Amino acid sequence: MPLLPDWLLPGRPDPLGATWDGLGINFAVFSAHATRVELCLFDPSGRKEMARLPLPECTDEVWHGYLPEARPGLIYGYRAHGPYHPEQGHRFNPNKLLLDPYARQLSGTLRWSDALFGHRHGPGRTDLSFDRRDSAAAMPKGVVVDDAFNWGDDRPPAVPWDRTVIYEAHLRGLTMRREDLVPRERGTFAALASPPMIEHLLKLGVTAVELLPVQAFLQDRFLVEKRLRNYWGYSPLSYFAPEPAYLASGGLDEIRVAIRRLHAAGIEVILDVVYNHTCEGDGLGPTLSWRGLDNASYYRLQPGEERRYIDETGCGNTVNLAHPRVLQMVMDSLRHWATAYRVDGFRFDLCSTLGREGNNGFDPGSGFFDAIRQDPVLSRLKLIAEPWDIGPGGYQLGHHPPGFSEWNDRFRDGVRRFWRGDAGLRPDLAARLSGSGDLFEKRRRRPWASVNFVAAHDGFTLEDLVSHAERHNEANGEENRDGHGENFSANWGVEGPTDDPDILELRGRLKRAMLLTLLAAHGTPMLLGGDEFGRTQRGNNNAYCQDNEVSWFDWALAATPAGQELAAFTARAAALRRQHPTLRSPVFRHGQTEPLPGMPDTAWFDADGAPMTPERWNDPEGRVLLLRRAGPARGEGAESEGVEVTLLLLNASGRDRVVTLPSPALAWISVLDSAEPEAPGHPVGGATLRLAARSARLLVALPPLEDHPG
């Protein structure tokens, strides 16, 4: 480390963070209630504190200073002085080294020690006590970086929402078991953008990869003590720095190279982000960053009882987005990832929490939503809300503002229950197939606002959905009490794996039926990574702490005949979605227009080919449903500007059904059948066809249709 001055110039209060200008580094950190903030500089190993320099100025509650001659690579942290009065919400303890909330890279890893707590930690101790031990040796530190990178001719794919197919995956688990990759790169950004992975995604028809949290996160102490690990990453330690374990090279440019390669392949990158809480937990948690810098500003506290945290996340604390500087931190973090790394969108964990201000409940016009919707950078990205939390009125599906899409658990549960054979599901399924207009058709929102999924990281995989009637989370160490209790799943005769060919055939048919339902529904389809080849978590529906082969993708399954068959079926369904606009309408359709005389854009029929009536819709035992759609044929590979007609046939009953095709008679081609996945497209002869039990089939009418008399 070069010899540096032992003093700081005043510097500037903006931008926040550590910023290199070519001649030195400006440091700026927010704290409204600190009485003094010190910059701590460390040797290149991060183990020895070389200097402790007071930030000389505080402007508008931002402490700042400038260190001449300093360069990128400098390792640093802060110490904040101020009152230690938990009853008043203040928890300053200068004995605790604090990570800069704006640190863009981390050096070292956190090593659990009682010294990390601002209070005396242990049996009988409370957060009212005060701990004087220095925590620096156990803390990761910030690294000053230079974000310059040659992006060349990189262009965001900018895939329209109605053409988007999302693939949700865990960055580490995705490639840890890929034997065709260099071992040291497995589980990293380098592996994500490797030719084998990109080839797989392209074959599948994926247009966007949605990654579970890649911002640096904490390995929670209670998991470490049980010899488990925080696998999912929903315990944020830094909002600007990536998780160091996800960088094979250790350098930030690995992320940029990966995103540039994915962009070149036409694939967008969406990040799952966690701005609703931090890893510091409640008042008995460690002091690592925000708590020690300004607890009363960064967190929502109980009015009149500021020692207590408002916990609407189930994680001990709630980030206080009603504070302008805290909101600024979140917005600056989002812009950092959008500009420094050129990510294409964000999925907001527990987004209902972000829409709360004070004690006023969820508000789609809250400061967070207003800020992001008017932002010239962020408003153009794909923004996805997880529309619930555990707070009062926390379930807000369909209530987020325009510009946001939302994870639609109503789609997940409805499709699962329909294919399980539950009674009375046809009306609900029809709404889900139509883009869930009952939830989203307001404020000029579009069908893409509904992110449709059958399985996600939180819950059963598709394979486990048809293999387990009960969760099997014993490995989590919570006596199988964690995770969803009701999964709307069935094992079809045997709990877990089986060699019974009849059960295996039925399970395969149901998996394919659910995938076709997903990819033929209006809205934005999201596939859970690995579902395309039968990935299993052995019945664990809450694998958040399973950083092992329970969660890692078993690519050997993809090479099996069953895995190849399922992947090929998924790819064909995605290709048909691209080719046929009636499967992915950008607007809600209600049968109000007639693309062909006498043929509305949307029509529903029963097994006998007759239109659905109120009596038929209300028949609880009806388990066959036909959906005919008509519209302009301007999809990929369309030969004309004419009209296309598609017919989706669904049979969730336990027996084969002879189905009458609705009039008028058209020259139908059967293009995909979940009961015969390898069958090529073939003409449908006659006015009826046999629809196998618990299967789905897609028909397409042959052109030309422009002159059809109706």
Give 705's pLDDT tier (boundaries 50, 70, 90): low
- Structure token digits, residue 549: 């082969």
For the chain, what's the residue count? Answer: 710
Amino acid at 209: V
Give 664's pLDDT tier (boundaries 50, 70, 90): very high
Bond prior to 236 in cis (omega within 30° of 0):
no
247 has pLDDT over 70: yes
Bond prior to 704 in cis (omega within 30° of 0):
yes
386 is catalytic: yes
Region 316-343: mean pLDDT is 98
Instruction: Write out pLDDT tens, residues 537-558.
Output: 999 999 999 999 999 999 999 9
Q: 38, 210, 311, 349: which is the annotated catalytic residue?
A: 349
Fold equal for 17-144 and 583-701:
yes
606 has pLDDT over 50: yes
**Residue 536 and residue 562: Cα distance in Å, rounded?**
13
Instruction: Write out pLDDT tens, residues 393-431.
Output: 999 999 999 999 999 999 999 999 999 999 999 999 999
Residue 437 has a CB neighbour count (10 Å cut-off) of 22
Contact 455, 529 (CB under 8 A): no
Residues 6+ away with beta carbon under 8 Å from 379: 372, 373, 403
704 has pLDDT over 70: no
At residue 124, the pLDDT reads 76
CATH of domain 17-144: 2.60.40.10
Bond prior to 392 in cis (omega within 30° of 0):
no
Q: 38, 49, 280, 386: which is the annotated catalytic residue?
A: 386
349 is catalytic: yes
Q: Which residue in 634, 647, 624 sits closest to 585, CA to CA?
A: 634
Residues 6+ away with beta carbon under 8 Å from 182: none
| Structural fold of domain 161-458 | TIM Barrel (3.20.20)
Give 188's pLDDT tier (boundaries 50, 70, 90): very high
Amino acid at 571: A
**Residue 58 and residue 118: Cα distance in Å, rounded?**
24
43 has pLDDT over 90: yes
Place of tokens 């048919």: 509
In order of 46, 122, 138, 425, the CA distances from 115 in angstroms are 17, 11, 8, 56
Amino acid at 374: Q
At residue 640, the pLDDT reads 54
Contact 540, 468 (CB under 8 A): no
SS3 169: strand
**Residue 341 and residue 112: Cα distance in Å, rounded?**
31
- Structure token digits, residue 130: 């005060």
**Residue 313 and residue 451: Cα distance in Å, rounded?**
22
Listed by start position, the domains of the chain span 17-144, 161-458, 583-701
Largest distance between two CA atoms of the chain: 89
At residue 429, the pLDDT reads 98
Helix (H) or strand (E) holding 345: strand 345-348
Residues linked to residue 28 through DSSP beta bridges, in sequence order: 17, 64
Buried b (16+ CB within 10 A) or exposed e, 238-252: bbbbbbebbbbeeeb
DSSP 460-473: --HHHHTT-SS---
710 has pLDDT over 50: no
At residue 2, the pLDDT reads 65
176 has pLDDT over 50: yes
At residue 709, the pLDDT reads 39
| Helical pair 501-519 and 409-420, crossing angle rounded to 10 deg | 140
Place of tokens 């374990």: 245
Residues 6+ away with beta carbon under 8 Å from 103: 17, 18, 141, 142, 143, 238, 240, 241
In order of 37, 64, 286, the CA distances from 15 in angstroms are 17, 10, 27
**Residue 586 and residue 552: Cα distance in Å, rounded?**
35
Instruction: Write out pLDDT tens, residues 75-128.
Output: 999 999 999 999 999 999 999 999 999 999 999 999 999 999 999 987 877 899
Instruction: Write out pLDDT tens, residues 557-591.
Output: 999 999 999 999 999 999 999 999 999 999 999 99
> Considering just the CA atoms, what is the radius of gyration of the chain in Å?
27
Per-residue 3-state assignment (H helix, E strand, C coil) for 38-100: EEEEECCCCCCEEEEEECCEEECCEEEEEEECCCCCCEEEEEEECCEEHHHCEECCCCCCECC
Residue 404 has phi, psi (to 5 degrees) of -110, 140
Give domain 583-701's CATH number out of 3.30.420.590, 3.30.950.10, 2.130.10.10, 2.60.40.1180. Answer: 2.60.40.1180
- How high does pLDDT run on average in the chain? 96
At residue 189, the pLDDT reads 98
Model-level pTM? 0.97
